[in-house]
Amino acid sequence: MVENKLLFTDGASINRPPMFYGLIYQFWKVRMIIFIESVDQGVWDAIVNGPFVPQVFVEGQYIDEPWCDWTDSGRKKA
C-alpha cells in the first residue's frame, strides 16, 4: 500500500521531473524519458547519442571546431 502512494506523490508536473523513490525503476524511467523529451527532443538525443560537436576537415582529418567559429545551426544542434 505504501508503494502505490509513493509512485504518485510528485504528480505529473511539466515543470519538475518525476522523483525516483527507489521503487519500480522501470516505471520511473519511462516517466523520466517522457519528461525529458517534452522539454526538447534534442536533449534526449544528446543523452542517447552523446553531444553534437561541429567538426571541420583539416589536413586529412576531422577536428572539433572552436566554439567561436560555430554557425547558428551548429549551436542549435549542439
Q: What is the pLDDT of residue 1?
A: 46
The enclosing H or E element of 64 equals: strand 61-64
Tell whether the torsion through CA atoms of 41, 45, 48 and 52 is positive or negative: negative
- What angle in degrees, to the nearest 10, is found between the helix axes of 25-39 and 41-49? 120
- pTM, to two decimals: 0.60
Q: What is the Cα–Cα distance from 69 to 75, expressed in whole angstroms?
A: 10
What residue segments make up the domains of the chain, in order of their start? 1-39
Strands 61-64 and 55-58: antiparallel
64 close to 50: Cβ distance less than 8 angstroms: no
pLDDT tens sequence for the chain (78 residues): 445 555 555 656 778 888 888 888 999 999 999 999 988 888 888 888 888 888 888 889 998 888 888 888 888 777
